[in-house]
Structure 1
Amino acid sequence: MKYQPIHNSLYIKNRRNFMAEMKPRSLAVFNSNDIYPISADSTMPFQQHRDILYLSGVDQEESILLLFPDAVEDKHREVLFLRETNEHIAIWEGEKLTKEKAFDVSGVKTVYWLSDFDKIFFELMTQAETIYFNTNEHYRQSVETETREARFIKATKEKFPAHNWAKSNPILQRLRAVKDPLEIEVLQQACDITDKGFRRVLQFVKPGVWEYEIEAEYMHEFLRNRSNGFAYTPIIASGNNANVLHYIENNQQCKAGDLILMDVGASYANYSSDMTRTIPVSGTYSKRQKEVYNSVLKVKNEATKLLVPGAYWKEYHLEVGKLMTSELLQLGLLDKADVQNEDPDWPAYKKYFMHGTSHHMGLDTHDYGILWEPIKAGMVFTVEPGIYIPEEGFGIRLEDDVVVQEKGEPFNLMRNIPIEAAEIEDLMNS
């Protein structure tokens, strides 16, 4: 890992909070992700499952965390199982966690090698009545691959058919949605690295550059600041490409007079940042581009104020829709008849702003959070309105990451990243 370790007090607290929500005489198991094959002997870079990471800090394949608050022996209330390292593995793959290092990282005192898992798991299941399975129930999940977690669940149900089972995900959805101050610090680091990348790009962009060259500038700056790269596949969309919401080809040349919509974010310590800025290829916005730009910025600023404790995600989006409708009327993109005759299920503003305004942020770019429960202080959201006008050849989206506060407006983690049109023009032409 490139990043500086996070203090294990975070993981100790996270486990304590999770176990406080468990049923009596229950245990919970969390598996690392697989290393996924490509072809021949090629594999995708390992990405740790965010749940075991959240509860232990262990960023290594073939690891298992077991939590059993009512275990007969105290040493079995928190247990880590790791792949046993040796000299051969150290030579060919590099350093792996020792039992001592695993304790330093996680604060878990009892660490076994993975070869002991079946024996100890059987012993602990004889003491337990319920097992918590870690299913993926995120509202945007679309998993076709059988995961390591899924294989474990299938095998455990066959081996222990008389046990009750419960879901860990609802507990994690609520816990992970509200960030610890230590997590906010790490998210701020991710946003600060994104800031550095953006400022680098402002000095780089000019007519004739290619979208992939801009992507490369971001990656260079991210890596040299201990990020492990992009938090998600970057969007570098010049001209009409910006009107394709998930444009990721990044293979077109940037032309004078066009805008570039850049939806990028650095990952740091597996925490995501998520920024969008829209800049002029030539260093200056046209009158019309600036008019639309300022409307998007106004909606973003006003929408941010609505993210307060007690608000509901669905109602929040309805209010943002009203803000956007007002701006589209002023821009001449909608008229009163469009609004009066709109379909309530697909309001008129959706013609130019068809996606949601906010999602939870954290270990995942689209992080955990139960959308039908009220917003709480400590939650982190994106705010990302946009206006997309294919007939005019450009689209504009602006996005910051903000922390909901107990009182007052959310705290903007991207407050230092240039966003005013005049500031961007000044920096591009300095």
Structure 2
Amino acid sequence: MADTINTDSPAEATNVQAAQVSRSNENRSTTPSSEGFQSYISSGWADREDTLPPAREQAPFAAARRDRISALYLGQRLIIPAGRLKQRSNDCDYAFRAHSAFSYLTGWGSDSEPGAILVLEPTETGHDATLYFRERAGRESSEFYANSSIGEFWIGARPSIAQVASDLGINVRGIADFDLVLGAIDSSTLVVRESDPELTALIDDARIRFAAEKALSNNASDSPFSLEVNSEHEPDGILARDLSELRLVKDSYEIEQMRLAVNATALGFTDVISDLPRSSSHARGERLVEGVFNTRARVEGNTVGYDTIAASGPHACILHWTTNDGPVVPGDLILIDAGVEVDSYYTADITRTLPVNGTFTDVQRRIYDAVHEAADAAFAVVRPGAIFREVHAAAMEVIARKTAEWGILPVSAEDALKPENGQHRRYMVHGTSHHLGIDVHDCAQARRDMYMDGVIEPGMLFTIEPGLYFQLDDLTVPAEFRGIGVRIEDDILVTADGAENLSAHIPRSSSDVEAWIASLS
């Protein structure tokens, strides 16, 4: 990797730019700085063709979402940052992903710019939306060639303000102008806190200053007062909650993106099965499974929506096994929990459990078929008007009944299902469903009465993912069960009169899974 240097000067930076920590490598940099070089590199460039793109498909959807949050916060300034690059090591950063609330309200996905900020400025009738971002450096600037974070020599061409405005269908200004917003902040200004901690600190300081000035202007200077901004800042938390709850029901654009993500994920599973002979011959076969799927995610979309779980043999009993360093042994099952995130950031979340050699043993099939039955039972209750937690309850009835039938439970299935008991949950401690969309665990900040106890509505999209996991050292189960883990997970869209399994075309039953593997061998 080439040497890097960030030439930003804190003295020249705007307040919001200075909030970003600079990781300079000037002590080892060989970046030229001579007058002759700077004069030469700034000249001889062809004129830019700053063609304005048409508004992207999601632009009107993002505008409608902004209108919905605007209606909830009339008279208040709302600040939704994209977030910044996050350090991986020394001067190396993780790949940038904008905060989901920012992407949801702007339509900017995998091509979004680090450090961008959406501001909804209150008006008499609603809000004016403005996007602030650090515009590209002119070729006469040293940033053009020396700044490894934004310089086009380092990261490629960047859009102009006019291009972003046309693309997103939104008013756009340079990041330096955001200082005007900072200067106007009052106590009613709200921010999505978690997306940009440095910016949040600036806003907290501005709110404290505003409150102090207001107190002094009210002749309160002789009276002691306390000004604190709680780290949770309750009004900010309510904004995050409301933005989360807006995403519970998906619009038509979101649903189409989810279909694309599911279909790309299906291709990834097919790739994994086709590569099983290679994966099963390597000491770290799980890594090969992960790599094969992740290749498809990069080809078809942005990346994976979360770390791929490639859990073979006993690793399948570890719910979030992402170390993926074990062998893929013929005769074992491999549990693959994976999803492609498309460029709009919407991600699938699908699990299939496969017999590595193509055929389930009798015990494996018995466990698999029980999980399949639980998944189908949960799907059967999905309809508008049902309560979200009823989906989980339906799956748990099957899990309790099956484990009781096998003589594993110390009580009957009926007793196990009583609120004060729950012995069957030893073998499935996780929930059956979670909302899905621009986050793999979407809408996570929604209130319980909108989520777990919420009424299911058309346009909601969530997983159904029951499982059974018998740990290798679990003495409560028969020896032949130990080390077997099975999960089946599908992505479910609620329709006007029921539900659609978006991933139903990815084989689910034990017989269909065997036929699927055989067709690719």
Q: Give the TM-score taking structure 2 as reference length.
A: 0.73
Alignment of 1:114-125 (within 5 A): 114-123=175-184, 125=185
Counterpart of 1:423, as a letter, is D
Report the counterpart of residue 431 of structure 2 in structure 1.
Answer: 356
State the distance in 1 between where 2:345 and 2:133 align: 20
Instruction: Indicate if the aligned counterparts of 1:190 and 1:273 stay in contact, CA closer than 8 A.
Output: yes
- Give the 3-state SS of the residue equivalent to 2:180 in structure 1: helix
State the distance in 2 between where 1:342 and 1:21 align: 41
State the distance in 1 between where 2:196 and 2:136 align: 26
1:170 to 241, 246, 252: 241
Q: Deviations over 1:98-151 (max 9, x none)?
A: 22222233211x22101111124435x4xx772222245xxxxxxxx9724532
Say yes or no: does 1:344 pair with 2:423.
Answer: no
1:384 to 449, 465, 489: 465
State the distance in 1 between where 2:196 and 2:103 align: 20
- Give the 3-state SS of the residue equivalent to 1:278 in structure 2: strand
Instruction: Indicate if the aligned counterparts of 1:56 and 1:106 stay in contact, CA closer than 8 A.
Output: yes
Q: Deviations over 1:280-316 (max 9, x none)?
A: 0111001111111111011111102223333333444
Report the counterpart of residue 395 of structure 1 in structure 2.
Answer: 485
State the distance in 2 between where 1:230 and 1:117 align: 33
Counterpart of 2:208, as a letter, is E
Q: Deviations over 1:170-192 (max 9, x none)?
A: 32122111111100101111111
Q: CA RMSD in A?
A: 2.5
Report the counterpart of residue 361 of structure 2 in structure 1.
Answer: 286
| Superposition misfits of 4+ residues, deviation over 4 angstroms | 162-166, 335-339
Report the counterpart of residue 165 of structure 2 in structure 1.
Answer: 103
Report the counterpart of residue 517 of structure 2 in structure 1.
Answer: 428
Q: Give the TM-score taking structure 1 as reference length.
A: 0.88
1:64, distance to aligned residue in structure 2 (A): 0.8
1:338, distance to aligned residue in structure 2 (A): 7.0
Report the counterpart of residue 99 of structure 2 in structure 1.
Answer: 49
Report the counterpart of residue 347 of structure 2 in structure 1.
Answer: 272
Report the counterpart of residue 27 of structure 1 in structure 2.
Answer: 77
Say yes or no: does 1:256 pair with 2:330.
Answer: yes
Say yes or no: does 1:414 pair with 2:503.
Answer: yes
Instruction: Indicate if the aligned counterparts of 2:335 and 2:354 stay in contact, CA closer than 8 A.
Output: yes
Alignment of 1:177-256 (within 5 A): 177-206=248-277, 207-209=280-282, 210-225=285-300, 227-256=301-330
Report the counterpart of residue 141 of structure 1 in structure 2.
Answer: none
- Give the 3-state SS of the residue equivalent to 1:355 in structure 2: coil
Instruction: Indicate if the aligned counterparts of 1:235 and 1:263 stay in contact, CA closer than 8 A.
Output: yes
State the distance in 2 between where 1:371 and 1:152 align: 32
State the distance in 1 between where 2:338 and 2:81 align: 29
Q: Deviations over 1:29-67 (max 9, x none)?
A: 111112111232111111111111111123211111111
Say yes or no: does 1:301 pair with 2:301.
Answer: no
1:337, distance to aligned residue in structure 2 (A): 4.4
- Give the 3-state SS of the residue equivalent to 2:335 in structure 1: strand
Relative to structure 2, which stretch is displaced further, 272-281 or 171-180? 171-180
Instruction: Indicate if the aligned counterparts of 1:292 and 1:331 stay in contact, CA closer than 8 A.
Output: no
State the distance in 2 between where 1:178 and 1:49 align: 19
1:335, distance to aligned residue in structure 2 (A): 5.7
Percent of pairs with identical residues: 28
Bigger radius of gyration among the two: 2
Instruction: Indicate if the aligned counterparts of 1:339 and 1:347 stay in contact, CA closer than 8 A.
Output: no
1:429–1:316 CA distance, 2 compared to 1 (3 A): closer
2:494 to 382, 401, 404: 404
- Give the 3-state SS of the residue equivalent to 2:463 in structure 1: strand
Q: Deviations over 1:353-375 (max 9, x none)?
A: 11100001011100014332223
Instruction: Indicate if the aligned counterparts of 1:191 and 1:265 stay in contact, CA closer than 8 A.
Output: yes
